[in-house]
Structures are given as structure tokens and as C-alpha cells.
Structure 1
Amino acid sequence: METELPRMLHARERVIPDETFTFHSSRMRMKHVTAEELVAMNAQTERATMEIADARPDVVASACLVAIMAQGPGYHCNAEAQITGVLDREGVAAPVVSSAGALLRALEALGAKRIAMVTPYMKPLTKLVADYIEDAGCEVVDTLSLEVSDNLAVARLDPAGLREHWRKVDTSDVDALVLSACVQMPSLAAIQPVEDAAGIPVLSAATATVFTALTELGLRTEVPDAGRLLSGEVTMERAPRRAGEPTA
């Protein structure tokens, strides 16, 4: 979230220079990607949201995807509502995006009904993510778990490895490939090359988050070399506005 999202937004500035971005973050602590630590991380949502609210942002994006999806189908709605409630108390009327909800919305925008997926997670967590996506109506045909549990080690994974990892999943009859179902796992450098090689839309939790955030800001969903999802050709409806929230 803290590396690839700013990278994409700043790359966008080079092609649309009159729309610039600042990036502000607050961390919810976690060291190992386990079910117990994911629950403990979610408990820090209110504190982190209050800190972000001080920056008076135009949109708020939340990670991590698995922390939400591990809580059971549809939980991203609860998480987004919790953040919205804190922002409201702080007088901030900004749309809220979660990486979990963003991935589901991006898959729908692409018209993807069958997908393959690569994750850094241990296999039980990958299954939770797959079950969550399937509950939302998208079949997960095949997955690859890299089985890295240390959160910092996930961030250090070389995205170049994904140019080979994707070949280990069955993409013969899918509508899209989720190259990284985790915002923490770097993937941006591999998105366009793998899409070119696979011949199908390739996205990640990070590109889906940028796509959804740009949509909620009412901006063109275009980032160079970030796959079809961010080509500017894929669009979706914005979420319903709430009282006091900007419309453009």
C-alpha cells in the first residue's frame, strides 16, 4: 500500500500532469500473517483511521486484503462501514475503499467470472481468500500459494519471480489472473509483462485499489503499464455518495 499505490499515482501524473496526489498513511501493526494476528490488526482500525483523518484526505484506502477476507464473506462491508463511521465522527466526508472490496469490484468491472490467483499466503489463508471471492460470485479455478508467513519477508519478495510463478497456475480457461492477492507482495513490475504473455487481464490487490480509488474520486482510471484494468478503458459505477461527500 505504501509503495506501489504512490508509484502508480505518480506514474499517472506523467500522463495526466494536471491531477496530482499526496499520500498519507497510518499503520496497523502485524508481524506474522496468521489468523490470530490478523484479528489483532483489525482491532487497530479506529486508531489508524483517526490518525488518517487529521490529513483531511479525499479518499481513504485500507489494507490488508487477507485481514478482512479471513473474517468471513462480506466482511469488507463491515470494515468499510467502521472506517466511514470514524471519519464521520472526525468530520471527514471521504469515500472509503478496502483492498478486499476493491478486488471484488475490479473483477466485476472486468466481467471476470473465472479467475486464477497467486498469493504469498500459507495454503489455509489462500483458501479463505478463494472462498471469499467465490462467495461474491467469481469462481477461483486455480491458486498458487507461495507460503511466506513473515509479513516483512512478503514485502521483500522479488516481483520478477511472478513472471515465472504465474505459469504454475492454470489460466487456460479463466477471464483474469490475480497476480498478487496481497497488497504487501510487490507485483507492479510484473503486471504488464505477465498480461502481455498470458493474453488475459492481469491485476493485483494494489491495482484494484488504485482503480477503485480513482473511480471514487471521479477520475479517469488510467495508469501507464499497469494492465488492462488501469488502461482507462475499464469503468464502473461509483458507490452511492453519503451526506457531505464530494461528488466530483
Structure 2
Amino acid sequence: MSGRRYDYGRTAMIGIGTPQANPTVEAELRIILPPGCALAVNRLTSSSDDPMQRLRDYLEGLEASLDQYDTLRPDAYGFGCTGSSYLIDANAEVRIVERIEERLGYPVVTATAAIRWQLAQLGAKRIALASPYPPALSEAARAYWTGAGFDLVEVRRIDTGSGDTRSIYTLGSEDARPAAEALGRLEIDAVLLSGTGMPSLALIADAADSGPALLSSNLCLANRLSDLVGLPAPTGWRSRLAEALAPIKGAPAR
């Protein structure tokens, strides 16, 4: 961590990049990370109408996106988009990250790199994937995790009813529950709920202590960012989640 101190974010200043229409990354990381961490969020943008090209643009244009921070230098930065890594050559991603770290002077971690780190921490080799993606991106995800050396036992799609990846943002945790529970009965080490746009903390909070670990892109990203700034894995987020999901007194029923 840097020697700077802020009134807000005295524990750490964490940078987060989130796809332009994604409402989930920032919300879940604010719940997971301890209150002493401040989030500085920038939007990953693309003008492409092609969902796959948009995802590529987010990562290929990351260095330019970080210029939004001007002189701000976070203690660590998390790229909050899993699908981009499934479509970019892995070596090209490494070069992008290394170039940014050398120029800006702070660590940068992608969501997929955070997931790989978390799986390594758990010693997990046999995994299953719950995928809220259209078929082509689901297949790219399969190729990515297989190419990364994992035994990917099953990929189970969560249908959003659209080929546009932005339709993920309409999902709730309950939409992923059938897939997560089915995959959790397999002889595997971990179930990955892929995609930073799909809410998942309620599912993880409900998961049994026995059986395969249930992980999400956002939880792994928060854990890795905590590690990079010298903090232990976040605890206490379940109570913050309960508070965030509690009904608002006096609010009209929806």
C-alpha cells in the first residue's frame, strides 16, 4: 500500500473497473470489502453493438479507461469483467496488465486472474461452471478454464433469454440457484458462478459448509484485492448483505 492517507479509505483505496451498464460489481464489492476500504470506480466503455466486441474493447482499452483517474493512484485495481478474458488471448492479457502496472505503478488484477488465484488457494482442480452467457461465450469460457489447466467437469448455462450479454444484468441470485445446487452435487472441488454482472452473494451466504466451494467472480476479485493491499480475506460481509437486502421501512411494496 502507498503511504497516502485519506479521510475515507484509510485502510485502502481500491480501484474498480465495471462494464458500462453493469449494476452489480460496485454493489457487491462495497458489501464484501470492509468499511475502511474506499472504492474508486471507473466505467469500462465501448460503442460497439456486438456484445463480444464490447467485451474485447473493455480489456483492450483498459489503459485508456484508467486515464479517468487522472492523478488518483489506487492501492490496487480490479478489472471487474470476466467475459473479456474469455475472448482475449491469455498472453495478450498479461501484456496489457504488465504495461499498465509499469506505467501507473499499482497492481492490476483481472476477475479471471483473481478466480485462478482463489482456486489455487483452495487447491481446487476439478471445477464446474454456472454460465449466464450466450452459447458462444459459454464455449469460450469452457476453453479458457480448460486451457488454464482445470478439469472442467460441467458447464451449465443460465438462460437470460437474449444473446446480448447485457441481459445478465436483469438476473437475480435466485435465477442462478438451480444451476448452483445441481453443480454442487457433483464430485468436484468448486463451483464457479461466472460473470460479475450476476448477483451471487445471497447464494454464497446460503451455501452449506460441506461440499464443493461456491465462488463468484466478484467474491474472488474482492479476496484478491484484499490480499494485494495486505488485508486478510474479508469477513462480516454476510451481515452487511443482510442489511443491504432488508426491506426499507415505509417504502411502498413492489
TM-score (norm: length of structure 1)? 0.76
Q: Quick check: 2:31–2:237 contact (8 Å CA) kept in 1?
A: no
Q: Aligned AA for 1:185?
A: M
Count of residues in Structure 1 that have an aligned counterpart in Structure 2? 211
Query: CA separation in 2, counterparts of 1:74 and 1:188?
Result: 31
Deviation by residue 1:101-141 (Cα, 9 ceiling, x = unmatched): 11111111111000011111112211211221122211110
Q: Secondary structure at the match of 1:143?
A: strand
Q: Aligned AA for 1:80?
A: V
Q: Secondary structure at the match of 1:196?
A: coil
Q: Quick check: 1:187–1:204 contact (8 Å CA) kept in 2?
A: yes
Q: Quick check: 2:173–2:201 contact (8 Å CA) kept in 1?
A: yes
Matched, 1:4 2:50: no
Query: CA separation in 1, counterparts of 2:200 and 2:145?
Result: 20
Matched, 1:34 2:34: no
Q: Which moved more, 1:70-79 or 1:130-139?
A: 70-79
Q: Quick check: 1:177–1:203 contact (8 Å CA) kept in 2?
A: yes
Query: CA separation in 2, counterparts of 1:177 and 1:83?
Result: 31
Q: Which residue of 2 aligns with 1:82?
A: 99
Unaligned runs of 5+ in 1: 14-19, 88-92, 227-248
Aligned pairs for 1:49-88 within 5 A: 49-52=66-69, 54-87=71-104
Matched, 1:21 2:37: yes
Which structure is larger by alpha-carbon Rg, 1 or 2? 2
Q: Which residue of 2 aligns with 1:181?
A: 194
Deviation by residue 1:156-194 (Cα, 9 ceiling, x = unmatched): 20112222222343742100111x21111111111121x
The structure-2 alpha-carbon separation of the partners of 1:77 and 1:160, relative to structure 1 and needing over 3 Å to count, comes to: same
Query: CA separation in 1, counterparts of 2:224 and 2:89?
Result: 22
Q: Aligned AA for 2:97?
A: E
Query: CA separation in 2, counterparts of 1:220 and 1:33?
Result: 39
Distance apart, 1:82 and its partner CA:
3.4
Supply the RMSD in Å over aligned alpha carbons. 2.3
